[in-house]
């Protein structure tokens, strides 16, 4: 009978907490959105699955060896950990209260030496870091995964339309207003006492408006790792929702006549220009904003590999095999941050709400900037392409093209919209650099 009770007490069903059950449901919802609604499936499938794995009770896939031991270890192990921390456990209290006490020490004021000693203790008795915890530490903790993805994005990006019409860079700049307006919104919410965001957290939330997955993950891993799960989920979910979020805003801000504007055909761009551009961008970053160098440096490197034409194999690997491998690991690592205690909170709702506002403001700012440019320049600009200034390559450009075709079936804006689209990638990376410089 004792054996059966032990088995029962070791089962997932016995140990399942309400929060974990809720998070498993959240993981399943993400999988549903990815599989049936085709919401960024490449990322949401690994994220959703990782979220489920991270919430399996007792398995501790997403936590460190020490946390795992504190959560499920036998009383003898707890005593050893307490000795390593140099605290005394109340012998009369239950093991549960010991766990709570040890947890608060481990999360709070334990010195680095004490933590290391405690870690040695638990490793000696056979606990090890969870698989997802290791993935997270390697892929996101070091910042490597988002940067490799950025390299792949660089290798996939064609700067031709941007080089043919460099003024579209302004549209990419204007759309970054969404980032900063949301930052301000988050700060305002916490100063009114509705939510509690620090400036760092507000900045990480704002970057959702950059509509750029790897940039969002990179910035939040530097500025606010505790919000990473919610921010990544919001960023990718809204990127998938671009075709729903943007068109109403675009229609609201433009007249039918403006949407019908046809643009002059882009001039052809020579290979030499395409080779010089990433190098020039890199030099400008080096001169003005070294903090954006990790992101834009990898981006330029990927693009140079694509355009120089002599490292076909490297370019092919970075835009196919490598980016796929890293996407799997990145997705699972983000999923590991979908743990109940950090995800199920009012802040997550705030992040989801602010994220969509960021998108909307970014789109509106891009469109308005295009209208402004139309007033001052001779060359006509269709304001719809301003909406493509939020990155979300190439979804936002396709949306601009589609709305343009609705107004005038012979007006193909896709290539024109690719200019502000890739400008948006550069713009959000620059914005990320500014935030890291200011707050990091």
Partner 1 sequence: MQNTELLNEGLALMALGMGFVFTFLTVLVISVTLMSGAVRRFQPAPVPSAPVRRGPTGTSPKDDEVQAVISAAVHRYRRQKGRDS
Where does this chain bind partner 1 (CB under 8 A)? Answer: 162-163, 166-167, 169-170, 172-173, 176-177, 179-181, 183-184, 186-188, 190-193, 199, 202-203, 268-273, 276-277, 280-281, 284, 288-289, 423, 426-427, 430-431, 434-435, 438-439
Burial class of residue 288, CB neighbours in 10 A (0-12, 13-18, 19+): exposed
Report in angstroms how near the CB of residue 206 gets to partner 1 at its nearest.
Answer: 9
Report in angstroms how near the CB of residue 61 gets to partner 1 at its nearest.
Answer: 37
- Please give the Cα distance from 422 to 402 (Å, whole number): 18
Q: Which is nearer to partner 1, 43 or 163 (CB)?
A: 163
Report in angstroms how near the CB of residue 382 gets to partner 1 at its nearest.
Answer: 19
Query: Which phi and psi (to 5°) does residue 342 adopt?
Result: -95, -25
Alpha-helix residue ranges (DSSP H) falling in 254-345: 256-259, 271-288, 293-308, 312-319, 321-336, 340-343
- Please give the Cα distance from 15 to 427 (Å, whole number): 47
Report in angstroms how near the CB of residue 417 gets to partner 1 at its nearest.
Answer: 17
Q: Which is nearer to partner 1, 175 or 384 (CB)?
A: 175
* 163: CB partners within 8 A, 6+ apart: 269, 273, 274, 277
Beta-carbon neighbour count of residue 271 at 10 Å? 10
CA distances from 8 to 2, 4, 426 (A): 10, 6, 55
Report in angstroms how near the CB of residue 106 gets to partner 1 at its nearest.
Answer: 30
**Is residue 246 a contact partner of residue 364, using CB atoms and an 8 Å limit?**
no
Q: Which is nearer to partner 1, 108 or 268 (CB)?
A: 268
* 18: CB partners within 8 A, 6+ apart: none
**Is residue 54 a contact partner of residue 64, using CB atoms and an 8 Å limit?**
no
Q: Which is nearer to partner 1, 181 or 240 (CB)?
A: 181
- Please give the Cα distance from 182 to 361 (Å, whole number): 8
**Is residue 384 a contact partner of residue 403, using CB atoms and an 8 Å limit?**
yes
Report in angstroms how near the CB of residue 385 gets to partner 1 at its nearest.
Answer: 16
Q: Which is nearer to partner 1, 211 or 322 (CB)?
A: 211
Report in angstroms how near the CB of residue 238 gets to partner 1 at its nearest.
Answer: 20
Q: Which is nearer to partner 1, 367 or 423 (CB)?
A: 423
Q: Which token pair is 131?
A: 């698989």
Q: Which is nearer to partner 1, 32 or 184 (CB)?
A: 184
Handedness of CA 314, 318, 319, 322 (dihedral sign): positive
Report in angstroms how near the CB of residue 166 gets to partner 1 at its nearest.
Answer: 4
Q: Which is nearer to partner 1, 203 or 388 (CB)?
A: 203
**Is residue 435 a contact partner of residue 291, using CB atoms and an 8 Å limit?**
no
């Amino acid at each position: 009978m004792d054996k059966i009770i032990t088995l029962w007490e070791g089962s997932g069903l016995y140990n399942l907490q309400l929060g974990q059950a809720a998070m498993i449901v959240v993981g399943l919802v993400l999988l549903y959105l990815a599989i049936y609604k085709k919401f960024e499936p490449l990322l949401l499938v690994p994220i959703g699955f990782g979220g489920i794995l991270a919430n399996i009770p007792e398995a501790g896939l997403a936590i460190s060896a020490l946390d795992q031991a504190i959560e499920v270890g036998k009383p003898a192990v707890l005593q050893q950990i307490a000795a390593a921390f140099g605290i005394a456990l109340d012998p009369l209290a239950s093991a549960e209260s010991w766990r709570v006490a040890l947890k608060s020490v481990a999360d709070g004021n334990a010195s680095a030496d004490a933590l290391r000693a405690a870690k040695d203790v638990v490793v000696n008795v056979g606990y090890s870091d969870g698989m997802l915890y290791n993935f997270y530490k390697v892929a996101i903790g070091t910042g490597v995964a988002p940067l490799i993805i950025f390299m792949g994005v660089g290798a996939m990006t064609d700067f031709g339309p941007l080089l043919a019409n460099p003024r579209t860079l302004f549209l990419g700049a204007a759309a970054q207003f969404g980032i900063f307006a949301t930052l301000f919104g988050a700060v305002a919410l916490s100063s009114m006492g509705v939510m509690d965001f620090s400036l760092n957290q507000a900045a990480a939330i704002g970057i959702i408006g950059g509509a750029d997955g790897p940039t969002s993950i990179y910035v939040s891993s530097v500025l606010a790792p505790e919000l990473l799960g919610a921010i990544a989920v919001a960023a990718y979910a809204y990127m998938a929702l671009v075709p729903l979020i943007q068109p109403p805003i675009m229609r609201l801000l433009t007249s039918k006549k403006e949407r019908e504007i046809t643009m002059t055909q882009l001039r052809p761009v020579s290979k030499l220009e395409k080779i010089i551009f990433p190098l020039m961008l890199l030099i400008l970053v080096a001169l003005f904003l070294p903090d954006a160098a990790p992101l834009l440096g990898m981006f330029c490197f990927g693009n140079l590999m694509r355009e120089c034409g002599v490292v076909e194999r490297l370019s092919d690997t970075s835009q196919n095999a490598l980016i796929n491998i890293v996407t799997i690991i990145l997705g699972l690592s983000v999923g590991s941050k979908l743990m109940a205690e950090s995800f199920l909170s009012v802040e997550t709702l705030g992040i989801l709400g602010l994220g969509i506002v960021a998108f909307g403001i970014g789109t509106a700012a891009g469109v308005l900037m295009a209208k402004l440019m139309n007033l001052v320049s001779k060359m006509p600009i269709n304001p719809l392409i301003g909406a493509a200034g939020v990155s979300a390559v190439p979804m936002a450009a396709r949306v601009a093209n589609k709305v343009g075709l609705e107004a005038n079936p012979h007006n193909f804006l896709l290539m024109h919209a690719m200019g502000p689209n890739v400008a948006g990638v550069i713009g959000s990376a620059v914005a990320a650099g500014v935030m890291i410089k200011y707050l990091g």
